Amino acid sequence: MYEHLKKQDPAIYKAILAETKRQEEGLELIPSEIAASAAVIEALGSVLTNKYSEGYPGKRYYGGQENIDTIEEIAQERAKKLFGVPHANVQPYSGSPANLAVYVAVCAPGDVVLGQNLPDGGHLTHGWKASATSIFYKTIGYHVKEDGYLDLEEIERLAKKHKPKLIWVGATAYVREFPFEKMAKIADKVGAYLAADIAHIAGLVISGAHKSPAKFAHIITTTTHKTLRGPRGGIIMVTYKGLKKDPELAKKIDQAIFPRLQGGPHDHQTAAIAVALGEAMKPSFKTYGRQVVKNAKALAKSLMVRGVKIVTDGTDNHMILIKCGKGRGVFLQDALDAAGITLNKNTIPKDPSSPFYPSGVRLGTPFITVRGMKEKEMDKLADWIAQVMEEIKDFQFPSDKSKIKPTFIKFRKFVAGNNELKKIKSEVKKLCAKFPLYKDMK
C-alpha cells in the first residue's frame, strides 16, 4: 500500500502506517468511529478528488460533469430507498454543515430553536452556547431526567412556552431509543419543524435495530462516518411529512447547502458515500447493525455485573456512558488508552464537574463489531475495563484547582509504569490479531 506516498513523503507515510497499526492492535470504542470498508477507502482516494462540481446533477457551473452526475444521482437514489424518503442531498461536507443548512432553510435569524442540552448528551449544533447556532438563533435547551431519559414533559412545556420554529431530536451521547413519535406530537402542537439528527444511529435505523424517524420528522440529517460505515460526510433528507408541511422544503434545503453555505461538493466523498449506501443495501448490513446493539447490550450487562455504574443502567443502541466519579473521566480515558482500549471522556447527566474534566466516559461497539467481535468478546472487554478502573481507584479529581496539574503529572507517571495496564495491552493485542482489519488490502 501507499507506494507513491512512501517515496514522496516518508514522514506522512510512517504516520499513516503507525495509525493503521494502532487501530489494528487496539480496541476502538469511540462510538462515533468505525472502520470504513476497503471499497469506501478506495473511492475516497480516487481521481474524483481532481474534479470541481458546483451545483447539482444536470445543473452544474463547470463542464465535464457526466460521470460526477451519475455518481451523485446513485448516492441520492440509494439514500432515498434506504431511509424511505422522497429527497436526499448528499453534498454536506459533514454533519455540522448539514445541521446548519437546516437552520438556513427553515429559520430566519433570531427564530427560536429547541434542542437537547449539550451536557445532557445533545450536540453542539443543536443550539449550545459555544456554537454559532446560538449566535444567530434564539436557542433553548431541554434536558434529561435524573434517570438519564429525555424529559418529555419539560420538552412539551418549553415548546408551548417559546413556540420554536425548529425542534431537534437526536444527540451525541444518549443511550436510549429516541421517542420520535412523541417528539413529533410536540412539534405538531406548536407548528414547528422537527429535525431528526440520526448521525449516530443511521446504520442502526437502516438495519432495523432502531426506530426510523421518517414517518415523524420533517427533516432528517446524518453523518455518514459512524454506524453507516462510510467516509466523513453528511446527508440531509426531506420526508413526505416535510413536503406536506412545505412543498418547497426540498428546494430550500438544496439552496441552503449550495449556494448559501458550501461551494463545490467533494466528489470523491460523494462516491464513497454511494459505496457505503450500496453496502448498506446488502443483507449482511442488517446482521451487522443488529449485532452492534447486541454487543452494546452485552457489554453494558457485563460491566454492571462487575459493579460498574452506567447511565440509565443499560442501552438501546450502540453506546454506553460509564459513571466514573466527579471529574474522573479523563483518568479512565487515559488509563484505558495505555491498555490499548480507546474511548472518550464525556459528561453525564447532572454532571457535578466540567465538560473538560467530566465525570464519565463514552464508549460504543460499531468498530469492534465490524471486526467480527461478538458477545463473548464483550465479556472479556468488560473484565479489562473493570480491571483498569480498579487500578486507578485511588486517584481522585482535586477540588483545589492548583492541584489539578500536579495530580495529572503523578497520574500519568503511574499509568506509564503500571505493569497491569501493560499486561492488559498485550492481551488486547492478542485478541485483535484474531479479528484483523483490512487483511485484503495488504
Question: What is the spatial distance between Cα 16 and Cα 39, in angstroms, rounded to a whole number?
Answer: 18
Question: How big, in percent rounded to 5, are the helix, strand and coil portions of the chain?
Answer: 50, 15, 35
| Fold of the domain built from segment(s) 43-280 | Aspartate Aminotransferase; domain 2 (3.40.640)
- pLDDT per position as a tens digit, 346-391: 999 999 999 899 999 999 999 999 999 999 999 999 999 999 999 9
- Locus of grid cell 424517524: 213
Q: What is the C-alpha to C-alpha distance for residues 168 and 170, in angstroms, rounded to an integer?
A: 6
Question: Any catalytic annotation for residue 197?
Answer: yes
Calculate what percentage of the chain has a pLDDT beyond 90: 98
The amino acid sitting at 256 is A
Please say if 377 is a catalytic residue. no
Q: What is the mean pLDDT of residues 51-59?
A: 97
Cell 466514573 appears where? 324
Average of per-residue pLDDT values in the chain: 96
pLDDT tens for 78-124 read: 999 999 999 999 999 999 999 999 999 999 999 999 999 999 999 99
Q: For residues 54 and 263, is the Cβ–Cβ distance under 8 A?
A: yes
Is there a contact between 213 and 169 (Cβ–Cβ < 8 Å)? yes
- Amino acid (1-letter code) at residue 226: K
Grid cell 446548519 in the structure block, residue:
100
1 closest CA partner among 315, 50, 16: 16
Per the residue annotation, which of 2, 13, 52, 240 is the catalytic one? 52
Residue 232 is a catalytic residue: yes
Q: Which of 223, 227, 239, 369 is catalytic?
A: 223
Burial label, 180 (beta-carbon count in 10 A; 0-12, 13-18, 19+): buried
Is 51 among the residues known to form the active site? no
| Contact by Cβ (8 Å): 379, 304 | no
- Among 6, 145, 182, 232, which one carries the catalytic annotation? 232
- What pLDDT, on a 0 to 100 scale, did the predictor assign at position 1? 78
Average pLDDT for 416-423: 97
Q: 316 pLDDT band (50/70/90 cuts)? A: very high
Is 54 known to be catalytic? yes
Give yes or no for residue 441 having a pLDDT over 70. Answer: no
The catalytic position among 165, 226, 229, 371 is 226
> What is Dmax (Cα atoms) for the chain?
65
DSSP 222-291: EESSSTT---S-EEEEE-HHHHHH-TTHHHHHHHIIIIII-SS--HHHHHHHHHHHHHHTSHHHHHHHHH
* pTM, to two decimals: 0.96
Residue closest to 315 by CA, chosen among 204, 181, 202, 234: 204
- Given 197, 267, 279, 351, which residue is catalytic? 197
Q: Which of 25, 33, 54, 375 is catalytic?
A: 54
* pLDDT 10s digits, 124-180: 999 999 999 999 999 999 999 999 999 999 999 999 999 999 999 999 999 999 999
**In whole angstroms, what is the distance from residue 318 CA to residue 293 CA?**
5
Cis peptide leading into residue 259 (ω within 30°) = yes
Per-residue DSSP letters for 157-207? HHHHHH--SEEEE--SS--S---HHHHHHHHHHHT-EEEEE-TTTHHHHHH
Q: Report whether 86 contacts 77 (CB < 8 A).
A: no
Predicted confidence band of residue 442 (pLDDT cuts 50, 70, 90):
very low
Domain boundaries, the chain: 43-280, 285-441
Upper half-sphere CA count for residue 268 (Cβ side, 13 Å): 13
Q: Is 103 a catalytic residue?
A: no
Q: Look at residue 440 and tell me whether its pLDDT is greater than 60.
A: no
Fold of 285-441: Aspartate Aminotransferase, domain 1 (3.90.1150)
